[in-house]
Structure 1
Amino acid sequence: MEMIEQLVARTDPAYQRWLGEATDDVVTAAGAVVYRRESLPERNTTYGVGEWLAGYLMIGQEGDRGFFLRCDGGGPVFWADLGGLGEADLEIAAPAFEAWRSSGFALPPDPVPDMPLTADVYVDRIPLDGVALLMRARKLLGADWPVGELRSMLAVQPFLAARSAHPYALRRELESVPELRHHLFYSSDAGLEAVWAKC
């Protein structure tokens, strides 16, 4: 609790005033929850915010999205997928807490409207001798495929690589791994769709 209080003391003054007045979590019409002071420790601990987003406080949530303030006295309200990896995954939800509050805690639009928030991800079209490429996919997806089985996995493509993954977050990661852009797909009602929309 003490660490959370230290973070709160370094947030936007408008947020601190709101927190002093809030007697319960606020649930918006769109289904977001903005946490009162007593909810902050449990929510930030549950999602390990201090580990993957040091210097930030998770102040609310909507489904798989968290809302954050940087603890430097001001600045925007950010949002990120709760499976995000760090600051690079943050998007601006509002220019400041007071603006977000005035909007009724309006939600930002879905980050990639043409993709689901979660979907099963598949690997396909890797050449049969592409074990090194499959190893890179293994690392990117955080999979624990046995190394000894990689060749046999290449022979049965497409194969399920990750359940309930986040295609839009994965697409951002593919910015730095161009060799995998043509090999990752997510399931949709229309079949398998490329995660990298530009391919």
Structure 2
Amino acid sequence: MEMVEQLVSRTDAAYQRWLASVTDDVGADWVVMYCLESLLERNTTYEIGTWLPGYLMIGQEGDRGFFLRCDGGGGPVFRADLGGLGEADLVVVAPAFEVWRRSGFALPPEPEPDLPPTADVYLDKVPVDAVQLLARARKLLGADWRFGDFRGLLAVQPFLAARSARLYALHRDLEHASELRPHLFYATDHGLETVWPTDRPETR
């Protein structure tokens, strides 16, 4: 595994100048851009050199990281989920670091999910002993389930969790509640489908 310092020396020159100019992490909306000290720690902690050799993680947004390719030629800024790192998972955020910096580290808009405006929402596939997960779902959905009923609800999944929920708003809320994404479904004429679509949408 290459030392992080060696990778920095082969990044975009504009990035190297920016990195030398900051002494603390820089926050922009949800994005945190690392100073040198954090850069060394984060790349080591996430073992970026193992999962993405030749790349450097330069910042983070929740469970997503931002990366530069360290080939001496500049190039795009990439983004990928930290739970699945590989070159195939990289998505271009900006054509070059300097372009991204001038934008204030703005993120491209997410594509709108293919969801109906409202639908009944169901909870499913929650482990029967995951009472705390159900409590988080209760708070997210603004539900009024009694805590004493939690184990009963977990035993009869899928169960109706919210009537005529606004799915676009719920989808946005799930951006920062990744632990609930596999468990929220909405009703269609063909069964239940996930509120947070995956590459292979789950349908029941």
TM-score (normalizing by structure 2) = 0.58
Deviations 1:1-26 (A, max 9, x none): x8111000000000000011112110
Distance 2:88 2:112 in 1: 16
Shift of 1:107: 1.6
Q: How do residues 4-23 of structure 1 correspond to structure 2 at under 5 angstroms?
A: 4-23=4-23
The counterpart of 1:190, out of the listed 178, 186, 193, is 186
Amino acid at match of 1:35: Y
| Identical residues among aligned pairs (%) | 66
Distance 1:19 1:25 in 2: 10
Distance 1:98 1:3 in 2: 24
- Larger Rg: 1 or 2? 2
Q: Do structure 1's residue 54 and structure 2's residue 53 form an aligned pair?
A: yes
Superposition CA RMSD, Å: 3.2
Shift of 1:67: 0.2
Could you list the structure 1 runs, at least 4 aligned residues long, displaced by more than 6 angstroms after superposition: none
CA contact (8 A) 1:121 1:165 kept: no
CA contact (8 A) 2:193 2:202 kept: no
Q: Tell me: CA distance 1:17–1:78, structure 2 relative to 1, closer, same or farther (3 Å).
A: same
Distance 2:36 2:80 in 1: 21
Number of aligned residue pairs: 139
Deviations 1:154-197 (A, max 9, x none): xxx99xxxxx5697xxxxxxxxxxxxxxxxxx432526425424
Distance 1:96 1:76 in 2: 4
Aligned residue for 2:39, secondary structure, equals helix
Distance 1:4 1:41 in 2: 6
Instruction: Give the corresponding residue for 1:171.
Output: none
Distance 2:47 2:91 in 1: 19
Instruction: Give the corresponding residue for 1:95.
Output: 95
Shift of 1:103: 0.4
Deviations 1:82-108 (A, max 9, x none): 111300000000000000000000023
Deviations 1:34-75 (A, max 9, x none): 001111111111111111101000000001110000001210
TM-score (normalizing by structure 1) = 0.60
Q: Tell me: CA distance 1:110–1:46, structure 2 relative to 1, closer, same or farther (3 Å).
A: farther
Instruction: Give the corresponding residue for 1:76.
Output: 76
Distance 2:96 2:85 in 1: 23
Instruction: Give the corresponding residue for 1:42.
Output: 41
Q: Tell me: CA distance 1:55–1:166, structure 2 relative to 1, closer, same or farther (3 Å).
A: farther
CA contact (8 A) 1:187 1:193 kept: no
Q: Tell me: CA distance 1:98–1:62, structure 2 relative to 1, closer, same or farther (3 Å).
A: same
Q: Tell me: CA distance 1:94–1:71, structure 2 relative to 1, closer, same or farther (3 Å).
A: same
